[in-house]
Structure 1
Amino acid sequence: MDRSSQAAFDVYWRCVRERLEHDFDRRLAQFFDAIPAADQSVVRDVLRGGKRLRGCVVILMNEALGGSPGAAFTRALAVECVQAASLIHDDFVDGDTSRRDRAATWTVLGPRRAVLLGDLMFATALSRAAELGREDGVVMARAIATMAAGAFQEPLATSDPARDAGPLAARLYPRLVHLKTGVLFGAAAQLGALAAEVSAPVAAHAFAYGACIGEAYQIADDLQDWLAAPPTAAQCPLLAPAVWHFCADGEAAERFGVPTPEHAERLRPLLRNRMEAAIGHRLQRAVAAADLLASGPHVGLLRAAPYAIVRAMARGGP
């Protein structure tokens, strides 16, 4: 992807991010009208500071398909609420105490109120999407349910190797990256298409476009987290699905289960190369999907967005 196209998307993303921040601030009280005004500041704090990449995908897809800009903002806010809610739950489950250089929500509100806040944000996003139309509600409900399925299946640091062993383990990693991240990016693109009132086949192409971006994003995130330095013993259970998937034809085939740090370190060059190839493959698929979706000035942005979004991940977090 040429630098001028990526620079154009970076400019577009910054502009859309500013528009989303302004619109979210203006609409938040109405969006969360079921909770007292005094408690809405908690939601505002949780949403503050995100990159708005998923919201930007909603806006870009809507505009690329000829939709009215105003039709996409409620959908973008709903998507960003789902993302923020998932991070609240993830931080608590994983025991992470910080997020975006701030204290994790569960350490501030306490575990119970943090989990309930995440539930509230999921439910509100789903309710607002359903108000826009049946298909919007279905897309949002499917995204939330699918993300929960991915979180439930993801290995933890305390994973039991015996439970996770077996030939099917090699299929787990691509499933996880789709469930955890691909689906919400896909839903963002599909909601943008629905805002433009396109046909069902076009909306399905939009989902495929977003899902490829999300999968590439998650693999790049995993690559950065796991392979920047030799894997630790705590990382090995989380690394295992990627090892099973990408290295099962090599040294990792000698055993299914959680690799030792020594084993993971021997596999690190092979794993890095194959994960980078998997990222590139998904980015190419996203660009191919973009070419099926739009023409005119926005097609260049659609083609540049996958590469720029993955690059944005490398600059720090979701």
Structure 2
Amino acid sequence: MSPSNSDPAAVRALLERGRSLATPALRAAVQRLAPPMDAVAAYHFGWTDAEGRPADGDGGKAVRPALTVLSAEAAGAPPETGVPGAVAVELVHNFSLLHDDLMDGDEQRRHRDTVWKVYGPAQAILVGDALFALANEIVLETGGEHAARAARRLAVATRRLIDGQAQDIAFEQREAVGVAECLEMEGNKTGALIACAASIGAVLGGVDDRSADALEAYGHHLGLAFQAVDDLLGIWGDPQSTGKQPWSDLRQRKKSLPVVAALAAEGRAAERLTDLLTADAKKPPEEFQDFDEEEFAARAALIEEAGGRQWTADEARRQHDTAVGALDGLDMPDRVREELVALADFIVVRRK
């Protein structure tokens, strides 16, 4: 049965299929790392606890592996063809998480202490670097005429991801950030790697560049939709579900889409929010972190009153529609097309 937007259980089965195909190869790849980096990486992925004992962490949402094996099938190849691409994308994604957690000062991820908190900043940096190098090794090991094409797409996506992180950090120090700038940053930081996931399996499966570009466009806009939903969760998400502190993005002074959209609006709420955030920017980080819950709740209420929450939800839907439209005209099995559309529906609708 093909999943649909009314059948989340079937979409979860797609995600689980991607996870089950990619995880054994991902574990084997991580075991190549020299000690203690192999153990630190295993903890980060949720496979062990801080003492090295087996744990039952699932390693995240598995959206990227699901996309990668689906893209291989879009090229008419077996899903296993996409597994090296899925592993490589997951390695790059987790390289970025290890570094982001350290740069952002995040102490929790997936309801556990982050790597830098447990093992120190040096290990977070080293293991992140090792995962990045390993990702390229895995793709190139596939050999054949398509490996270089796939490695190039992965390299471009990684560079854009790093560009996006640099933009994100710079935005935290600026009083004004435009909506277009924020979308560009999120297109780099999140969209680039999801775009790679949606195309690299097809490239390994031998698809032509025009079709790979269309799948990449699907993934890019899906990534923007995915990030828009994450931005909503970063302010209004349930900490039990997100694994982060309440008002996580507000605590970090992130210029996420709801904040930027609210600041760009007209009206008293936008003006009051501007005044508050301008004053916040002049405070030292330690004072800002000591704000009580009411302070953050007041900022969240102003963002919503100014329209930032609704604008971001609408933007998630717009990006979803653009992603699905990018599949028009692509020659692929009907089942695969339906699953790509259903996965997009699930990401935007079911995760809110």
* Cα deviation, residue 147, structure 1: 1.0
Contact 2:69 2:80 in 1 (8 A): no
Distance 1:221 1:16, change over 3 A: same
Pairing partner for 2:16 from 14, 17, 29 = 14
Higher relative helix content: 1
Give the TM-score, by structure 2 length.
0.76
Distance change in 2, residues 1:3/1:228 (3 Å): closer
Q: Which residue of 1 aligns with 2:155?
A: 141
| Pairing partner for 1:299 from 337, 340, 346 | 337
**How far, CA to CA, are the matches of 2:322 and 2:257 in structure 1?**
23
Checking the alignment, whether the CA contact within 8 Å between 1:8 and 1:301 is kept in structure 2 is no
User: 1:153 aligns to what?
Assistant: 167
CA–CA distance in 1 between the matches of 2:124 and 2:333?
A: 44
Change (3 A) 1:172 1:235: farther
Question: What fraction of aligned residue pairs are identical, expressed as a percent?
Answer: 26
Residues 241-278 of structure 1: CA deviation (Å, up to 9, x unaligned): 64444652423489978456767633414111111110
| Partner Cα separation in structure 2 for residue 254 and residue 169 of structure 1 | 18
Partner of 1:129: 139
The 1:246/1:282 distance shift into structure 2, 3 A limit, reads: farther
Would you say 1:44 and 2:42 are equivalent positions? yes
CA distance in 2, matches of 1:15, 1:147: 26
Partner of 1:238, secondary structure, is coil
1:205 aligns with 2:214: yes
The letter of the residue matching 2:333 is: S
Please identify, of 216-225 and 284-293, the stretch whose mean Cα deviation from structure 2 is larger: 284-293
Residues 38 and 226 of structure 1: is their aligned pair in 2 closer, same or farther, counting only changes over 3 Å?
closer
Selected match of 2:85 from 51, 65, 75: 75
The two structures, once aligned, show a CA RMSD in angstroms of: 3.0
- Runs of 5+ in structure 1 lacking a partner? none
In the alignment, structure 1 residue 113 sits paired with structure 2 residue 111? no
Residues 233/42 of structure 1: CA separation in 2 closer, same or farther (3 Å cut):
closer
Would the alpha carbon gap of residues 158 and 284 (structure 1) be closer, same or farther in structure 2, given more than 3 Å must change?
Answer: closer
Alignment length (residue pairs)? 305
Stretches of structure 2 that go unaligned for 5 or more consecutive residues are 47-57, 239-245, 280-295
* Residue pairs, 1:1-318, within 5 angstroms: 2-29=4-31, 32=32, 35-36=33-34, 39-48=37-46, 49-50=58-59, 51-132=61-142, 133-155=147-169, 159-161=173-175, 165=176, 169-227=178-236, 234-235=250-251, 237-239=253-255, 242-245=258-261, 248-251=264-267, 252=270, 258=277, 265-269=301-305, 270-293=307-330, 294-310=332-348, 313=351
